[in-house]
Each structure stands twice: as structure tokens, then as C-alpha cells.
Amino acid sequence: MNALLVYAHPNHASLNHSFLEAVQAGIKANPVISKTEIIDLYEEDFKPALVFHEKKRRRDMHTDPDFALYREKVNQADLLVFIYPIFWGRPPAMLLGFIDQVFAANFAYRHDGLLPEGLLKGKQAVCVSTMKGPSLYSRFYLRNAHKILMERALFHFVGIRKVKIFEFGGMERKDGKQKKYLSRTKAFFSKLAK
């Protein structure tokens, strides 16, 4: 199994980077996963803003050479892992811009008839996200908006049905939860199977 990790946090001394390291450690211990690649969106200076004009059209995004390498990495991956903080109840703009531009029509999905057809079938996806506020806030007050956005509006739309969403809340408290969640993340990836 090939894994692609998409990391979307600007600080390598952050808790999110610790989660990236926990994911990597779990994957390293997993004999099923043979190859791992990382896209660090901030380190790569990814430009999240959509740009359309007479030479760069939305309908041609699936062939845009600026994103060819990213599309190739997504195609080669059996497992897509997204690691990011939750800002205002949703992933950061950097990650959403990556999704907008890479998961384009005629690459990630096709819309020929009444219903779209996902073109990334057979892959699985995992989101590892952190937030300052409690998980209950996201779950109840925001009515799972983040989970619905990632699981249904993105992954199910492009044909990915095997999805796991981790929302680790209360991450700025110093009560030992961080270590517990890091350990849980590492264990999850060390046992993950196809």
C-alpha cells in the first residue's frame, strides 16, 4: 500500500507536526504500507488561491501542469492522509485551496449525467485534525460541519468510501490528552490495513 500524507500547518514546532510524526511512526511500523510520500503545503509554498482567466480555465484544471505532480501522487496513493488544524470549524484555507485545485473535475470526479461519478474509487482517506475548542463544540454546536465537509462533500463525492476522521479537541490544555491522542494516532496507523 502507498500512502500520501498532506500536511497543512505552517509551524514545524507545532502540535500538528507532532501528529505528522506520529502518523509517520505508525506507518513505519506497518508492514502493509510500503511507500510514503509527504506534501508539506507550507514548505512547498503552495498557492491556495484559484486563478482563472482566458488562458487558465476552470474546465481545464484536470490538465493544469502546475498540479500534475500532485495529481500523480494522489493517483499513486492507496491511502490519503490529511493532517491539519481546524480553524473556524473547517480546515485551513491552504488545505481547501489544495483540494479545490487538485481534486478537479475529470480527475477526481466526472459529471456527465445527473449524478457525479467519483474517479478515486478504491482509495481510503484519513483526516487527523486538531482544534483549540472541545470536540463537543464541533460535533453538536456546528453539527459535524467539518466531518460532513470532508467525508461527504469531498471523499464520498470523489468515490472514496473508506474514511476515518479524527477530531482532537481541547489541544491547548495541559492535561495529558495530547500524548494520549498522539499515541492513539500512531497505534491506528501501525495497524491500518487495506
Averaged pLDDT score across all residues of the chain: 90
76-97 pLDDT tens trace: 999 999 999 998 888 999 999 9
pLDDT-based confidence at residue 58 (cuts at 50, 70, 90): confident
**What is the band of 142 on the pLDDT scale with cuts at 50, 70, 90?**
low
- Residues 38-45: what's their mean pLDDT? 97
The pLDDT value given to residue 188? 96
* CA distance linking residue 48 with residue 40, whole number of Å: 13
For position 154, what pLDDT does the model report? 95
Q: What percent of the chain has pLDDT over 90?
A: 68
What class has domain 2-191?
A: alpha beta
Q: Cβ contacts of residue 105 below 8 Å, gap of 6+?
A: 59, 61, 62, 111
pLDDT at 40 over 90: yes
Domain ranges of the chain: 2-191
What local confidence, expressed as pLDDT, does residue 83 receive?
98
pLDDT of 183 above 50: yes
Q: What is the DSSP string of the chain?
A: -EEEEEE--S-TTSHHHHHHHHHHHHHHT-TT--EEEEEETTTTT---S---SSSS-GGGGGG-GGGHHHHHHHHH-SEEEEEEE-BTTB--HHHHHHHHHHS-BTTTEE-SSSS-EES-TT-EEEEEEE-SS-HHIIIIISTTHHHIIIIIIIIITTT--EEEEEEE--TTS-SSHHHHHHHHHHHHHHH---
16: nearest Cα among 70, 74, 95, 78: 95
Position 91, amino acid: P
- Under the banding of pLDDT at 50, 70 and 90, the label for residue 140 is very low
